[in-house]
Amino acid sequence: MSAARGGRRVLDGIDLSLADGEVTALLGPSGSGKSSLLRLLNRLADPDEGTVRFHGEDVRGLDPLDLRRRAVLVPQLPAPLPGTVAENLSFGPRLAGRDVPEVVRCLARSGLGDEYAERDASRLSVGEGQRVMLARALALEPEALLLDEPTSALDDDAREGIERTLGEIGLPMVLVTHDRAQAARLAGRIVEIEKGRLA
């Protein structure tokens, strides 16, 4: 599989299968293509050569919104919707016609107290925002998580809390991280990427 961004090839000949239930850590230098690869997995972009499959199905045959609820991407930088934290957590499930999620429980799993529920989601620190984005992902009850450096802005205590949650929820995950120790703690498999190719 290969993909370009801005007219330049950023992923080249990537051939990767992720086993069901597996946590895969994706490591590599800055600019090597980690975030670009995650974006292909839930169709924020499509490869220009090759196919991405989810449970064996070509993702181009799936409804992108449905796919993004099943394999939820937690972006490298928080990108909250306008409104409160609780509204941010409820928006996706409501769009999907589901019940309002248990906001406080999702926040707790993300290491945030219930006092965050009514905070303006656009007025949070980056680390708080990262945890809100994870809580928002969990509120969708996903089948898989695509985590782009989910603890890069967190202190050790907050990071440990997130790692505990990720360990407990037992979902298949692709975890982009610069932290080798974190990769070793959480992932059954470590994949390295360099200049858009698997190393």
Ligand X SMILES: Nc1ncnc2c1ncn2[C@@H]1O[C@H](COP(=O)(O)OP(=O)(O)OP(=O)(O)O)[C@@H](O)[C@H]1O
Task: Tell me which residues touch ligand X (CB under 6 A).
Answer: 5-6, 10, 28, 30-36, 76
Site for Mg ion in 57-76 (CB under 5 A): 76
Q: Which amino acid is at 2?
A: S
Q: What is the spatial distance between Cα 111 and Cα 94, in angstroms, rounded to a whole number?
A: 23
CB of 76 or CB of 84, closer to ligand X: 76
Question: Closest approach of Cβ 148 to ligand X, in Å?
Answer: 7
Site for Mg ion in 15-34 (CB under 5 A): 34
CB of 160 or CB of 179, closer to ligand X: 179
Q: What is the spatial distance between Cα 155 and Cα 161, in angstroms, rounded to a whole number?
A: 10
Please identify the residue of the shown chain whose CB is closest to the bound Mg ion. 35
Q: What is the spatial distance between Cα 43 and Cα 73, in angstroms, rounded to a whole number?
A: 10
Residue 28 contact among Mg ion, ligand X, none, beta carbon within 5 to 8 Å by kind: ligand X
Under 8 Å between Cβ of 11 and 196: yes
SS3 category, 8? strand
Question: Closest approach of Cβ 192 to ligand X, in Å?
Answer: 11
Residue 75 contact among ligand X, Mg ion, none, beta carbon within 5 to 8 Å by kind: none
Smallest CA-to-CA distance from 75 within 133, 28, 30 is with: 133
Under 8 Å between Cβ of 146 and 166: no
Q: What is the spatial distance between Cα 173 and Cα 138, in angstroms, rounded to a whole number?
A: 12
CB of 93 or CB of 127, closer to Mg ion: 127
Question: Closest approach of Cβ 94 to ligand X, in Å?
Answer: 30
Rg of the chain, C-alpha, whole Å: 16
Question: Closest approach of Cβ 6 to Mg ion, in Å?
Answer: 15
Q: Binder to Mg ion among 24, 28, 33, 35 (CB under 5 A)?
A: 35
List interacting residues with Mg ion (CB under 5 A): 34-35, 76
